[in-house]
Structure 1
């Protein structure tokens, strides 16, 4: 079956599903395969649960007139997404980076939604499956697409660009994330820069933070739009304070966000700059930023009794961990605690990076620091205010609830440190 024919079937459907557990009536089911499952085996179940049509890639399962057989289901999904993207002919902005991708994506989407009907990546569905699903969630009402792209190896962003074919690009930063897969920090820069190269090679527009020296050094593009706290950029946005919520001055007005920490200032500034580029009115930009409430364990400010919790437990790497600790240190509150979990996918430098976070935590004079996980358990420590536990259960058994403190909770997703909230 041609992609054009498959696209006609898709347009007659109610959307796309890759999971029979949440399929909806009239959807087009793609029987993807994984290490521990074969979607082909669930095609009949998908029809029973309401699917109108199924795409499979194994002949022995081709037992129904509502099935179509392709060489590879994943490839068909990706090609369909690209065909649909070109069919819609809408502007698409893609973003990637080591830290802040999802928050920045959501901020850009809410700002642009003040002027356009925007479809953006849901959650962090930002890989070789998530990007196609995002594109296929766009419809004739969509006026603008915002697509988040994630990667932990080189050439992944390049591949995602060929699927989404973005008109605009933005890289949040280059940080020490997924060092193992990228082969070190230089590999991170090279991998994330694949978006910049695509934008440049295709004569598209690229946004960047002019206050980021490394980013400014790497950005060599034909068409750019910059933002900065200083004069000389296309858009000037200034941070008033972050204690703990970020307050900004832009175009003569103050904007009070619900985001924590100076590290989120750049995420907000990027959304403001992109809004300005697309001629969103300043009052509308202010409205969008001030009404955005973070969720999903990302920079959430939570009250627990008389304690204030900064919950940032969705992800962690050496760069984001340092930024969170520096931010906690700069807060005006008197009593501060840090509860930190292992950073995953750090590779050969794991011991060095975890020791560095321990040493930084020790130097910032917090009242208490709790380090949790096997990697942190291996660090060398001589500070009595730093408590080290090999896992969450060990922390739980020894944890003493603080009183009237500001508490940072941060770690990689697999550590599930949001469980600390139950201890408070």
Structure 2
């Protein structure tokens, strides 16, 4: 079967599935391979579970008329997604990438656009890699009016490749921070990678949204079709936004056209995420009053900049992910809050040879800060040389939990919990 014939089946199917146990009746199963699994082995199980078709790249498993062999199932997934995007060429897609704040920015843009458009499509959770992006494109209904797609990357040329699948009409880079250093090697590699989005948009004469306060964005978007927002009144700024950089606050406040917008998102570092979403909403002519409603109604989830009150303690949990840039931003914000403060930090992963030095920098910051106690969890933090009287290290979460249950802490006003996703620090909330 060729791609067109399979697409016709896809168009009447209940969707694409890559997990045979989650197959819905009428879906198409694509057998992908990973380090510890081979989806080909589950193709027939998918058919038995209700799939109308299974795609494999191992001929040994293509023993049923409903099982189709292709050379490479991942490549096929990308081709099918591109075919679907071609069919929906008229749907404007906004692509979001950057080191930090991609998902928060994407969610803010989505809720703002939903104030004008009834059919807004977007990336689910953080399905932003070479598998999640084509699945996201294939989840786009035919009646979609506008879409917001998040693009992640852990090595160069990945964003370039994903742009060929997404074919975005608009794009925005949140920032350039120290994330996935193991794959990018250095900050220059990170910048080159993120700018692959600009390169695609420039080549295709599309629109780029620019944070005018970011010199890297400004200098690398010259002679492009760009739409700029800034906190300073520059001549070539399309939108002026006034930021409220207040200390000792757990809300984000900004002003546009003298209208105050107060977001429950914590941390001054979220102000640019909010500002970019408002800028994009303005470009698409969403009324400012409606944008204010959307921003002020938006409550983050998935442990991203969330705040809980428990036993009279404000717990700030931001542990969906962590890298040196986002960690310092969170600690800087937390340090400016007045009160007795405790941080519980987990290892920052995927930093390669930079790992030890970046974790030492976090400890140096804590030593000089007004943070009262710091609990550092994970093998990397545990093996760092620097320490302080207010720092206690644990080689893993289990050891911390055992110690914590036996201890008694001083009356605390705030607790910040932050670490990489794989450390799973959100489970610590129940201890407090």
Using the size of structure 2 for normalisation, the TM-score is: 0.95
Most deviating of 369-378 and 126-135: 369-378
Q: Is the 8 A contact 1:57 1:73 kept in 2?
A: yes
What is the 5 A alignment of 1:12-411?
12-89=12-89, 90-116=91-117, 117-232=119-234, 233-240=237-244, 243-331=249-337, 333-399=338-404, 400-411=408-419
Identify the residue that residue 427 of structure 2 maps to in structure 1.
419
Q: Is the 8 A contact 2:56 2:67 kept in 1?
A: yes
What's the CA shift for 1:402? Answer: 4.6
- Tell me, which stretches of 5 or more residues in structure 2 are unaligned? none
Supply the distance in 1 between the matched residues of 2:84 and 2:217 (Cα, whole angstroms).
Answer: 32
What's the CA shift for 1:419? Answer: 2.4
- What is the aligned-residue RMSD (CA, Å)? 1.5
What's the CA shift for 1:290? Answer: 1.4
| Structure 1 segments of 4+ aligned residues over 3 angstroms from their partners | none
What's the CA shift for 1:240? Answer: 2.8
Supply the distance in 2 between the matched residues of 1:238 and 1:416 (Cα, whole angstroms).
Answer: 36
3-state SS of 1:206 partner:
strand
- Tell me, which stretches of 5 or more residues in structure 1 are unaligned? none
Using the size of structure 1 for normalisation, the TM-score is: 0.96
Q: Is the 8 A contact 1:88 1:139 kept in 2?
A: no
Q: Is the 8 A contact 2:252 2:264 kept in 1?
A: yes
Q: Is the 8 A contact 2:230 2:240 kept in 1?
A: yes
Number of aligned residue pairs: give it.
423
What does the per-residue CA deviation read over 1:299-322, in whole Å, with 9 as the maximum and x for residues that have no partner? 110111111011001111110011
3-state SS of 2:208 partner:
strand
What does the per-residue CA deviation read over 1:127-149, in whole Å, with 9 as the maximum and x for residues that have no partner? 11111000000111111111111
Supply the distance in 2 between the matched residues of 1:16 and 1:340 (Cα, whole angstroms).
Answer: 38
What does the per-residue CA deviation read over 1:6-28, in whole Å, with 9 as the maximum and x for residues that have no partner? 21111011111111121211111
Most deviating of 260-269 and 235-244: 235-244
3-state SS of 1:33 partner:
coil
3-state SS of 1:111 partner:
helix
